[in-house]
Amino acid sequence: MAAVAPGMNGSALARASNGRRKAFRQDNVADGDTEALLPGGSAQSIHVDAVPALPIAAVLFQALNGAGLKYGVVQDLAYLQDAFAGRDDLDLLLDKRDYPAFCSIVNGLQGRRGVSLSCYDNVCAGREDWFVPDFSTGRYLHLDVHIGVRVGREFRKRYAAFDYAAIERWGAIHVDGAAVPVVSPEDELRLTIARFAFRGWTLPWQRWVTMHHHWRDPFAQLPFAPGEQGLHVVEFAFGGRRTVSCRFRQSGNDLVVHRADLARLRRSIRDMCGFADRHAITDAAVHLARKASYLALRLLQRLLPGRLPPKRRPAAGGFLVAVIGPDGVGKSTQVDRLTRTFRWKFGCAQAYAGIGDGSGWWLRKALQKVLFPHRHRLKSLAQSGGNDTVRGTWAKGSIAATGLALWAILIAFERYAAVKRAHRMAARGLIVICDRWPQAQQRGYLDGPTIPPHLFSIRGLSALARIEQKLFQKMEACRPHLTLHLVCDFAVSEMRKPGEIRKEAFDARLSLMAELRAKDEEIRTVDAGASVETVNRQLFRHIWLSL
């Protein structure tokens, strides 16, 4: 690619990103750390230490630099601080010959690759999503890895216009002592204009195409030298062919680009990639079809959450996690935090297999609200077995026992439906984090069967007890991919939820959890007595290593 025409001020183009991000605030860069882009191709050096980066960022880029990989950041330079902090994407352009070494390094850091649905705009050859975890913070970096920068319509990026060798000059950003190559302002401007050439449009009789706000903002700070009438020129040269010039100027509050120049730029890119102009019709048709599918899926995902494949999922497929523990250990809090963490970039859903304050059938929740104040009396009647001396008659005891059995069947069916729904969502590619999980080993504890054993001998109720037992056996066969047990002392539970559970019941649940771990060595244990952040980081580590 040729240099920018003499009318361009290179240092003023530092904000020329793709326009989807907000401007880089000057006060976010430490005083004295910014050096101007020097003439003759010397590197630009910027220290981005004001906003703390994830520790894994420095480790990753030191490993890439140590292996001598050819790579660099080519997009969204105005938002790099959030990207290094794990709050935004980081677009990397990688030399194709270094791709195997890159995969080896990222895999060594427990990185995971993401897979997107084919109808989405970012699905194209030579582009992959990689995620590198930082276990010390319970977060992860998102790397958009490009073997070549592709341009085209929003949902049809078919033209590999720029590779690593096409970038004439690289700068450098220092993050926690690691130097990260970044594209020079001039090259970034060319990439931005090449992308806009396939997306901007105007009426056929108009000569200038107006850049919308998300494309115009990066050019807002360009200086206009006196006597040039606000006209600027950017030149492209692909593979030694003739140079293509692209003119743009300020028109009032708008930035406009010459339509004929954009058309010549599109033809040159298509010709370089081996396509003729007639393929433009195919591009438009495919773009419209994919965009319609995208919008339809987004609408259906809002209307029917969890019933459609997610936009992005781990390459190994969906994953189902169950978080189990007694009351007061922080299950719901951790499930909420983990869901927010993974939902940032993956399709992630939250499930609930209990009968507390979580989601559930409206019929069960309505009955529970009505019967909850009388639960102790009803249980006492059911356990009396017709003894007239215990606040009731034999008829009342039989009715209470029947109601208790029917209530248990209702809960069993609800839990069975929740278990099957969680597995269906995981099969569609979602990461499902479930609060609680049924067990069939012991009655009355940890979301297990609830029909008391003495009701098995009552005619009619024994059939209901067998139905409940069969449902829990089916649920036991539908195990989650990963089970996490939260354990702590009773004092921690009492401090977090005073009076929620008695010590005897708390110890009984811990004992049952120990029996479950003895039967299944794959169950992981996390000390819930630590701080919320520490527990969250441990849970995040167990889940990530199992993806």
Our CA angle for 275, 277, 280, nearest 5°, is: 95
In angstroms, how far apart are the furthest CA atoms of the chain?
106
**CATH code of the domain covering residue 478:** 3.40.50.300
**Do residue 269 and residue 341 come from a single domain?**
no
What CA–CA distance (Å, rounded) separates 404 from 444?
13
* Of 67-76, 93-102, 112-121, 175-184, highest mean pLDDT: 93-102
- Cα separations in angstroms, 277 against 148, 283, 326: 22, 10, 66
Q: Which range marks the domain in which residue 410 is found?
A: 305-546
Tell whether 533 is covered by a domain: yes
Does residue 354 surpass a pLDDT of 70? Answer: yes
pTM for this model (two decimals): 0.83
Residue 536: DSSP 8-state: H
Q: What's the pLDDT tens digit per position in 489-501?
A: 988 888 888 888 8
**Do residue 233 and residue 312 come from a single domain?**
no
- Cα separations in angstroms, 241 against 161, 169, 237, 263, 285: 14, 20, 6, 16, 29
Does residue 64 surpass a pLDDT of 90? Answer: yes
Q: Are 247 and 231 in contact (CB under 8 A)?
A: yes
**Do residue 252 and residue 365 come from a single domain?**
no
What CA–CA distance (Å, rounded) separates 373 from 361?
20
Mean pLDDT of 305-312: 87
Partners of residue 348 on adjacent β-strands: 431
**Do residue 202 and residue 322 come from a single domain?**
no
Q: Is the dihedral of CA 27, 31, 36, 42 positive or negative?
A: negative
**Do residue 231 and residue 325 come from a single domain?**
no
Q: What's the pLDDT tens digit per position in 512-532?
A: 999 999 999 999 999 999 999
**Do residue 207 and residue 351 come from a single domain?**
no
Mean pLDDT of 242-265: 81
Mean pLDDT of 332-349: 94
Mean pLDDT of 252-257: 76
Tell whether 420 is covered by a domain: yes
Domain end marker among 231, 249, 281: 281
Does residue 281 surpass a pLDDT of 80? Answer: yes
Tell whether 110 is covered by a domain: yes
**Do residue 60 and residue 197 come from a single domain?**
yes
Does residue 33 surpass a pLDDT of 50? Answer: no
Tell whether 298 is covered by a domain: no
**Do residue 225 and residue 265 come from a single domain?**
yes
What CA–CA distance (Å, rounded) separates 539 from 526?
7
Q: Calculate the average pLDDT of the chain.
A: 80
**Confidence class of residue 365 from pLDDT cuts 50, 70 and 90?**
low
**Confidence class of residue 307 from pLDDT cuts 50, 70 and 90?**
confident
**Do residue 365 and residue 250 come from a single domain?**
no
Does residue 144 surpass a pLDDT of 80? Answer: yes
Q: What's the pLDDT tens digit per position in 161-219?
A: 888 988 888 988 888 888 999 988 778 888 888 888 888 877 888 888 887 766 655 55
Q: Are 486 and 528 in contact (CB under 8 A)?
A: yes
**Confidence class of residue 1 from pLDDT cuts 50, 70 and 90?**
very low
**Do residue 263 and residue 365 come from a single domain?**
no
Tell whether 2 is covered by a domain: no
Tell whether 292 is covered by a domain: no
Does residue 340 surpass a pLDDT of 80? Answer: yes
Instruction: State the first-to-last Cα distance of the chain, in angstroms, to the nearest integer.
Output: 42
Tell whether 288 is covered by a domain: no
What CA–CA distance (Å, rounded) separates 324 from 506?
13
Nearest alpha carbon to residue 50 among 173, 161, 181 = 173
What CA–CA distance (Å, rounded) separates 178 from 64?
10
At residue 373, the pLDDT reads 58
Domain end marker among 223, 248, 281: 281
**Do residue 324 and residue 248 come from a single domain?**
no
At residue 542, the pLDDT reads 97
At residue 346, the pLDDT reads 94
Q: How many structural domains compose the chain?
A: 2
**Do residue 103 and residue 252 come from a single domain?**
yes
What CA–CA distance (Å, rounded) separates 111 from 123?
20
Tell whether 431 is covered by a domain: yes
